[in-house]
Amino acid sequence: MNNQSRRWISVSVLMIPAILIAGLLLGHRSWAEDSKSVAFDYADQASRLVKCRKIDELAKLNIPATDAITSKLCTWKNDYVAEMQKQEADRDKQYDEEVTKAKDLLKDKKYEDAVARVARAYQITRDQNAFLELDWVKDLTAKVAAKAAELEGKGEWLESMDLYSYLAAIYEVDMRYKPDMQRLARRIRLLAVYAPKALYLMRQELNARQKPDTEDATTSPATQDEPTTFPSWQDQVERVAPGMLHDAIERSCSNWVELTSYDTLVKGGVEALRLFLTTPELAREFPGLADKNAVATFDKALNNALAKSAANKNLAIDDVDKIVDDLLQVSKNTIKLPEQVLVMEFTDGAMEKLDPFTAVIWPHEKGEFEKSTRGSFGGVGIQISQERGQLTVISPLEDTPAYSAGILAGDIIAAIDGKTTVNMSIDQAIHTITGTPGTKVVLTIKRAGTADKDYPLTRAVIKVASVKGFQRSPQDNTKWDFMIDPENKIGYIRVTGFQDDTAQELKDALTKLQQQGMRGLVIDLRFNPGGLLNSAIDLSDMFLNDGVIVSTKGRSAPPQRVKAHPPTEIPMTMPMVVLINQYSASASEIFAGAMKDLHRALIVGHRSFGKGSVQVLLKIDNDEHPNDAMMKLTTAYYYLPNGESLHRRDGAKTWGVDPDIKVDITPKQLSDLLKTRRDSEIIHRADEPPATQPTTKEAPAADTQLDTALLMLRLQLVQSTN
């Protein structure tokens, strides 16, 4: 054997251990990769089954718990299946109960109670179209519609409205009862504005006459004393002038999103005035309505107005002014309606012919409207509700006059500035408590175990946060905890509205979450009614680095396309889920639609509301009262990145944003969820007396929509690590 052969053998022998070691290392890496591959495959299978809502197949998916990752997968899957199966069982039970009760009530000819049950069953059933075709459902709704018409004919406005509301909810798609509901709603609004005492007595009489089901009955208020004061209609029409009517109608005809005519708007105004004439409760405030001859003469003038409008094919704004002037003159000679009343009612009726979001914001409404868009106002910093006839504090807000003074959750507000709050409406209470910062208000507080106490408070600028977490922070009850799943580092942010400061609030929350190592995120937009378009765009841009966020098109408004641009607030690779439901509207839908169409987030929940129209705010000026009123006018429609319109039109079968994963919950579950949310917002002071704090803490309501979001994020995180 030569030297070269020996060297080769020596090298070969030396390489054997290295090869063996390398083989072992490669084998180990292969095993680890196989383990990850198994986890990836099962996470992928589970994701697909959840998306398709194949819960039974998901239950049968056998995930071998061979390591930490697959063990977690198995636990997540089993917990989710158990929760979904429980929800479905609850749904079936609730449906059967509602249907059985409805049929029993139908046999007893208790149509009013039966239709309430049917409305709930409709929301629960899995096949709503088939439900509406059931013979007994069609029979009941026909009887209820006849009863509603009969009650309206008798002037039983509240009962008729209740029935039409149930029917409108049941036939929400074809909207066959929508005009009836709108008519009754407008009549009740007339009472609320011009005859609030009559409306109060009507409600009291109805409550005394009705016999609620024991299941739904609530404890009656301890007292049924009549409020000492009622809102004055004179305050509601203060500073209203004919120029506002002129401005509103002219702008509507010129700039509304779709083509309309002055004739259509005149019809709306005349219909509103005719409804005013045929609401007898108003005669107490307007004696001219009790004069049959005067009413007949004015009714004839309304017919003449319609005839003139229809006869003129080229009706212009000057012609409308002349029609209104004639009606004002006839009114002075007959029913003697104040000019402001006629102007306001005619204008509101005209606007109703357009869409639900076009409206005049009258002088008395301007302050409240501006407050809602700013997200801040002058007040004392409390959330209130009406519970068992008493004005109750839900929670004080942190760093506000009420919080500093020691007002607590559960306190009863017995009086405001010395005036009793017995049977005071929430709107009245808010109007009385809020006001110019720096001014004073005194709240008389009832608290169990203590004597009544007056709290003199100085109003301040109150900022209502629009970004909230999952629960209050254990370390600081006034702050939110945004990390819902610390183990998997999943954040949760609830956006309640799109206001001026929402983008900054969201940035602050994201910063906190990223400091805690966030790996996934839930954005909850359920019950979010929307808000400012610019806020929706800013929030969308925080998560997108490219693509059209939203576009708008209108008849006279110039089209717009808003694109996203880098940088983003969190990495584009971080998984996200957006939660929506049927109460997510407007700006919420723009954000959710952009996240869905641009494939940035998974959308979970229920189809959104379908409010896809753009409103602009216009000042309605006139020489007598400049800048006292505004007009909210629909000028365009929103379009999602895929080009589809969000807007829900009458009779449409599709609208809004459809979730990628549809997870419906029953009305009862919805109610329980809202209660859990409200409870989570309560702030208890560190120095609060123990007697005022809850002795037992109820378990939070089941939330299968949120559970679905969390499961999908966990599965995505497993897949992203492979």
At 42 the three-state DSSP class reads helix
The single-letter DSSP state of residue 110 is -
Which one of the listed residues 597, 664, 703, 707 is annotated catalytic? 597
Which one of the listed residues 611, 613, 703, 707 is annotated catalytic? 611
Separation between Cα atoms, residue 323 and residue 302, nearest integer Å:
9
At 598 the three-state DSSP class reads coil
Separation between Cα atoms, residue 709 and residue 457, nearest integer Å:
43
611 is catalytic: yes
Amino acid type, 97: E
Separation between Cα atoms, residue 578 and residue 593, nearest integer Å:
10
CA 689 to chain centre: 35
- Helix or strand (DSSP H, E) at 520: strand 520-524
Separation between Cα atoms, residue 199 and residue 182, nearest integer Å:
17
At 562 the three-state DSSP class reads strand
The strand pair at 480-481 and 471-472 is best described as: antiparallel
Query: Which residue in the block uniquely carries the two structure tokens 């929350």?
Result: 509
Let me know the angle formed at the C-alpha of 302 by 299 and 306, rounded to the nearest 5 degrees.
145
Q: CA nearest 676: which of 475, 518, 413, 468? A: 468
Separation between Cα atoms, residue 531 and residue 500, nearest integer Å:
9
586 is catalytic: yes
Which one of the listed residues 395, 535, 540, 586 is annotated catalytic? 586
Let me know the angle formed at the C-alpha of 327 by 325 and 333, rounded to the nearest 5 degrees.
110
Query: Which residue in the block uniquely carries the two structure tokens 């966990």?
Result: 714
At 9 the three-state DSSP class reads helix
193 backbone dihedrals φ, ψ, rounded to 5°: -85, -50
Q: Which residues pair with 471 in a beta bridge?
A: 481
Instruction: Point out the residues that are catalytic.
Output: 586, 597, 611
